Chains A and B, each alone.
Chain A
Amino acid sequence: MKKILVQPNSLENLGDILKTDITGIILPLEHLSVNSSIYFSLEDIKSIINLTSKEVCVSINKIMHNEDLETLEMMLVSLNKMNISKIFFYDLAVMNIVKRLNIKKELVVFQDHLNASIYSNNFYKKRGINYAVITNDIPRDEINEISKYNSLMLICYGYLPIFYSRRYLISNYLKYISKNKESNIYYIKNKDDKYPIVEEEFGTTIYTKEPINLINDINDLNVEYIILNANLTNREDFRSILNQYLTNRPEIDSSKCYRGFIDKKTVYKVADYE
């Protein structure tokens, strides 16, 4: 069975998943991460490490601006002294600081929609990056080809961020139409589909219309870790999903699973397509 990492969406959800037979958890670090409904301080992470023998990974996926760098360096130094398993990162600033300070933690490049090829992932591997979370924007055969040369992780369950802006798009809109913001989560409607749009401290994210669910595909995917992200999924539904992955017993009709681009390619040259 593949190793399973889970990103929780609440403390209750974290409690649930730590009781299961997963490999580890991914904890988004406060002030330096985005696209999560819960963030963890260094103190929180220390406490959680003491509670579990599972892998504890930390996600740092914000695009950094200069004003973040002091915090980033301090956090990386602290994380280096803690018993964490891996650091997931987006911004190259992390690589530079890790190299400069000789930080000895396993690193996972996790750039959402970049690094979609063998060579791109080899670039990071050659520089000592241990794993890559491969993008969900490419099909199974391409993922498996890349996996021959790289140690891969793949998001197999969860709402995928498909747009991330530094701007406060919901607040701006509500201000424009003179309405009050009553939630951080709304849904934009496109025909019969609804896409979650979430505003948080560092901007606005739009997610896929449904959580991707590759439960019926995992046996055909040559990835070392599968990632299940609980963000935006309710506690009971996620328990059920997690159980299916843990038992590797697909109980969902494949046609009802949103599978993104796992079995189709994006259109490269529109003129060729048209």
Chain B
Amino acid sequence: MSSNNRKVELLAPAGSLDRLKIAYLYGADAVYIGGTDYSMRANAKNFSLNEIKEACTYAHNLEKKLYVTVNIVFHNDDYVGLIDYLRALASYGVDAIIISDMAIIDIVHDNNINLPIHISTQMSNANYESVMYLKNEGVERVVLARESSRENIKEIIEKTGVEIECFLHGAMCSSYSGRCVLSNYFTGRDANRGGCAQVCRWCFDIEGIESDAQFTMSCKDLSLIKNLKDMLDIGITSLKVEGRMRSNYYIATVISTYREAIDNYYNDTLDDERIEYYSKILNRVANRESTSQFFDKFPGVDEQYFLGRQELSNQDFLGIVLDYNQDTKEVTLEQRNYFKTGDKVEMFGPSIETFSFEVPNIYDEDGNNLEVARHPKQIIKFKLETTVYKDDIMRIKAF
């Protein structure tokens, strides 16, 4: 464990209020969200001002933080209403805004808006001189380019003293962020204003090259669970999970896994066996392969996808606990994927140690015995000796 006494922040994405609550519940120290305006991921549901206010109150009641992305590259017309919007965020006590357009620095400062500024990875900052420049502009934190290596990150932290945030887990752009407008020129959708059509994942023929495997720019996802100790040792302030459009189950699984791993680190129990276990859990919830990308090496062919690989949806998420009756030892669960009596499953949640069991007899809401739970959102009841709580999650026992 490092001599660095400040505990790292685990930063989760959320595309809606229920996902935000799941993220906090499962161990996030902070959550980043986008408003319905001025935010990338324009296709995510995103938050109205009222929802941002509610999210902020919810976070602060838990003594956790909330960041709001204001990270589009602005065009002239996009500034309409921005100052009022930023003032509203400040009045709610939003802990910081994440920006990629330098204009916002002046707008915040010139209008005396009390909002700390974090610089988005969209600006691709990867060196200590640019980070120093931003520090002198009054920026609180910089999210580094995903092309940054361990040594680069360490040196930036040592030489600047600025809060540094790095991506920990999730999908990656194949390009430097901010330098890809394939969407604009292939589909008309504005990549730097949230309209990315993920052209980098399309398959192409290359003129003059015959092959069954088509070309793509696509790269595998990022997972730094095996490098977590290193990331904490070098003093990164915040570890960010990508994915404002991800599901409740994904957020719960990824955040709870990293929460546990980070806590293990600080109490000196993060050993190779645990890391291997966490790695399996994270691989299982993903629908794409992952690697450490630029953190510990220069990525090559093994960090890319070819062959137009199918991305399979994960069926592990079996249900979410709605209630547990201590007297009758009965669980009420909302079904998400097919399961049946006799299946080996496990339960995990923010207040329980993960445990496994065999699904006992199951019943519907009216007490009718069921052979299988096959209907999404169906209410299922069964007996369970171990206490579980609302929002605990039942999944397939894979390991």
A residues apposed to B, CB below 8 Å? 63-69, 72, 91-93, 95-97, 99, 111-120, 122-124, 126, 137-138, 142, 145-146, 160-169, 171-177, 179, 186-190, 194, 197, 206, 208-209, 260-261, 264-271, 273
Contacts and interface: CB of A to CB of B under 8 A. Distances in A.
A167 B181 CA distance: 17
Contacts, number: 222
A92 B206 contact: no
Given A113-B181, A261-B184, A271-B43, A119 B106 contact: yes
A65 B182 contact: no
- Please provide the 7 A-B residue pairs with the shortest distance between their CB atoms, ordered closest to farther: A93-B129, A119-B103, A266-B190, A92-B130, A96-B133, A172-B301, A187-B207
A118 B151 CA distance: 37
Contacts of B124: 63
Contact of B207 (A93, A165, A194): A194
A268 B193 contact: yes
Interface of B: 42-43, 73-76, 78-79, 100-103, 105-107, 123-130, 132-134, 136, 145, 147-149, 151-152, 155-156, 174-176, 178-182, 184-195, 200, 202, 204-209, 211, 213, 215, 217, 219, 294, 299-301, 303-304, 306
Contacts of B147: 63, 65, 166
Contacts of A114: 73, 100-101, 123, 178, 192
A164 B127 contact: no
B207 A64 contact: no
Nearest to B135: A96
B368 to A, nearest CB: 42
27 contacts: A65-B147, A66-B127, A69-B127, A91-B130, A92-B123, A92-B130, A93-B133, A96-B129, A96-B136, A112-B179, A114-B73, A114-B100, A115-B101, A117-B79, A118-B76, A123-B103, A165-B174, A165-B175, A165-B176, A167-B174, A172-B301, A179-B209, A188-B207, A189-B206, A266-B190, A270-B42, A270-B43
Contact of B179 (A163, A188, A260): A163
Nearest to A179: B209
Nearest to B130: A92
B75 A138 contact: yes
Given A123-B102, A267-B195, A166 B76 contact: no
Contact of A93 (B43, B127, B185, B299): B127
A102 B40 CA distance: 37
Contacts of B194: 268-269
Given A63-B145, A177-B213, A167 B126 contact: no
A117 B75 contact: yes
A189 B155 contact: no
Given A92-B129, A114-B73, A165-B217, 5 more contacts: A63-B124, A63-B126, A162-B182, A171-B301, A176-B306
B205 A117 contact: no
Nearest to B205: A189
B200 A123 contact: no
Nearest to B151: A66
B189 to A, nearest CB: 5
Nearest to B306: A176
